[in-house]
Amino acid sequence: MQVKTAEEVVFAIDEGYDNDKREEKAREYIGASIIGHACDAAIAFNLRGFPNVEPDPRLKRIFQLGHILEDEVVKDLKKRADILVWEVDGLTNRQHTYEAWGGHIVCHMDGHVELDDKVVRVLEIKSMNDASFNKFKKNGVKSSHPQYFGQVQMMMGMSDMTQTLFIAINKNNCEYHAELVDYDEFEFAHIKERIERVVLGKARKISDDGTDWRCKGCFKRGVCWEDMDVPVRCGTCKHSSAHPSGAWFCDKHDRETINPCDDYELYKPLPKE
């Protein structure tokens, strides 16, 4: 488009984000970042690879800024605080990753970190707006951000680490706040119970109303409440279940799935009790 006014500059930027189709595809596993979600159905949709609602340009920029700030936090930890940080696995040169159930359950870490006590910990970095940051600073992550708390508990449970350095940067003024979060075996037991429900096809919706505020802000609302197109494949079929080999198993035909068959039926979570 031709850009001639200040308003058209902003419009052109947003249009560029809308036209950018390089966004990564929906995940097909239960990740640590989703496990603290309040709704089991959202976790099930994530496991099965259902598509997300496309974020608007502003939200895409927020995500992009978060990645940039994460890199800057790592630099500050290493260069300013002289703390040992391994943001990638030295064997793979990729993110530290832990898997279970054949890759149906995965956690990716921002890194491993070692303080002066020589204990290796999980490193989790978040960028927050002012209100969110102050809530974390006042109450601690378990109270202020239960989803983040669940995320680091899953990371520790799967990696056998006993503590996480959780550090946040305030996007409004660049203030830092950090907390050492201890492993909570009871929380991890609860996480495993949720995973089991989802894997066994017992996930339920958190609400019976798509206008519920929790549903309106969910990236799976398009497949949960609306008529969003869903890829026809075994993972999105009601007859399939996640197999510990990493494959999908067809419960209707009692075999490992290969391709969707004529008996394909769209998976739907159970309604709210």
Beta bridge partners of 186: none
Least confident piece of the model among 23-27, 73-77, 215-219: 23-27
Q: How far apart are CA 149 and CA 153, in angstroms?
A: 6
Query: What tokens does 56 get?
Result: 């608007």
Evaluate if residue 22 carries a pLDDT over 70. no
φ, ψ of residue 212 to 5 degrees: the values are: -55, 140
φ, ψ of residue 19 to 5 degrees: the values are: -85, -10
61-111 pLDDT per residue, tens: 999 999 999 999 999 999 999 999 999 999 999 999 999 999 999 999 999
Binning pLDDT at 50, 70 and 90, where does residue 272 land?
A: very high
Which pLDDT score, from 0 to 100, does residue 186 have?
98
Evaluate if residue 50 carries a pLDDT over 80. yes
Structural domains in the chain, CATH included, are: 6-228 (3.90.320.10)
Residue 158, CA distances (Å) to 43, 94, 155 in order: 18, 18, 5
Which pLDDT score, from 0 to 100, does residue 12 have?
87
Taking residues 190-219, report their average pLDDT: 95
Query: What tokens does 242 get?
Result: 């996640």
Taking residues 128-136, report their average pLDDT: 98
DSSP letter, residue 236 = G
Binning pLDDT at 50, 70 and 90, where does residue 129 land?
A: very high
Q: How far apart are CA 181 and CA 4, in angstroms?
A: 52
